[in-house]
Amino acid sequence: ERSDAVPRDLEGVRVVVTAGGTREPLDPVRFLGNRSSGKQGYALARLAAQRGAEVTLIAAASTGLPDPPAVRVERIGTASELQSAVDAAAQDAEVVIMAAAVADFRPATRADAKMKKGAASEPDSVALTRNPDILKGLVTRRGAGGLPATRVIVGFAAETGDADGDALHHGRAKLARKGCDLLVVNTVGDDRTFGLDSNDGWLLSADGSERAIEHGSKSLMSTRILDSVTALLGDGHC
């Protein structure tokens, strides 16, 4: 796509994008993490800024990607840090896009010193604690009147499909569960999506409409997602 073809249809709109995978420390040198590259979130932040938005990118430390031009970048490590950053940034944002892969669980305790094998304290398992659901928290807070500026909340779902159903089936259930306005569903597994430069999937809306997104670059995927966001903003939705 030619850069001069980018519409300025998000002029002055405040957009928060989260990107990358959170890391949950076990001790000062080890963490539980995931394979999110952050590329989709970065592509969204870059394009939203090109379309005129005032973008805050809340980026997991893991991404190692250069800051996109004209975007305010905040770095976080854990899901809990991500939650604090999102909750603060969402306060005056019209759009929040949760592209980050948030750890569902964290180690229940974090050792102050490096864990040593053979030590008396050597663990044979890792106790885990559930992290808060940040996306669901935003939807709940908006429903209670706590986010008056926020008009569009976008979630992501990376699904492999399983015996209960395919990726789209899981995506539909997730949209209903999360209560967000748009859910971007990606098919993952067997080297699909994570770290790649291309993506495909579906865009599911709370009103029941569904669009397939053709296979293409994460930048093209971003165009489709932001087109749906601007359509919702234009609707006077919420």
Known catalytic residues are: 34
As given in the structure block, the two tokens for residue 78 are 């854990």
Pure H helices in 5-78: 39-50
Measured from the CB of residue 136, what is the shortest distance to ligand CTP in angstroms? Answer: 7
Which positions from 122 through 141 interact with ligand CTP, judged by CB under 6 A?
Answer: 131, 133-135
Residue closest to 156 by CA, chosen among 58, 48, 20: 20
Residue closest to 111 by CA, chosen among 21, 23, 22, 24: 24
**Can residue 87 be called a binding residue for ligand CTP (CB under 6 A)?**
no
Q: Is 133 annotated as a binding residue?
A: yes
Closer to ligand CTP at the Cβ: 11 or 166?
166
How many binding residues for ligand CTP (CB under 6 A)?
Answer: 13
- Return d(Cα 37, Cα 20) in angstroms, integer: 6
Which of Ca ion, ligand CTP, none does 213 bind, CB closer than 5 to 8 A by kind? none
Which of Ca ion, ligand CTP, none does 48 bind, CB closer than 5 to 8 A by kind? none
Closer to Ca ion at the Cβ: 140 or 209?
140
Which positions from 159 through 178 interact with ligand CTP, judged by CB under 6 A?
Answer: 174
Measured from the CB of residue 54, what is the shortest distance to ligand CTP in angstroms? Answer: 21
Which of ligand CTP, Ca ion, none does 53 bind, CB closer than 5 to 8 A by kind? none
Which of Ca ion, ligand CTP, none does 226 bind, CB closer than 5 to 8 A by kind? none
Measured from the CB of residue 155, what is the shortest distance to ligand CTP in angstroms? Answer: 4
Closer to ligand CTP at the Cβ: 27 or 104?
104
Residue closest to 58 by CA, chosen among 49, 48, 70, 67: 67
Q: How many residues does the chain have?
A: 238
**Can residue 155 be called a binding residue for ligand CTP (CB under 6 A)?**
yes
Backbone angles phi, psi at 139, to 5 degrees: -60, -45
Local structure of 20: helix, strand or coil: coil
Local structure of 179: helix, strand or coil: coil
Which positions from 90 through 119 interact with ligand CTP, judged by CB under 6 A?
Answer: 98, 100, 102, 104
Which positions from 203 through 232 interact with ligand CTP, judged by CB under 6 A?
Answer: none
* DSSP of 83-139: HHHHHHHHTT-SEEEE-SB--SEEESS--SS---TTSTT--SS--EEEPP-HHHHHH
- Return d(Cα 212, Cα 230) in angstroms, integer: 18
Task: List contacts with ligand CTP (CB under 6 A).
Answer: 79, 98, 100, 102, 104, 131, 133-135, 155-157, 174
- For the annotated binding site, the residues are 104, 114, 132-135, 156, 174, 178
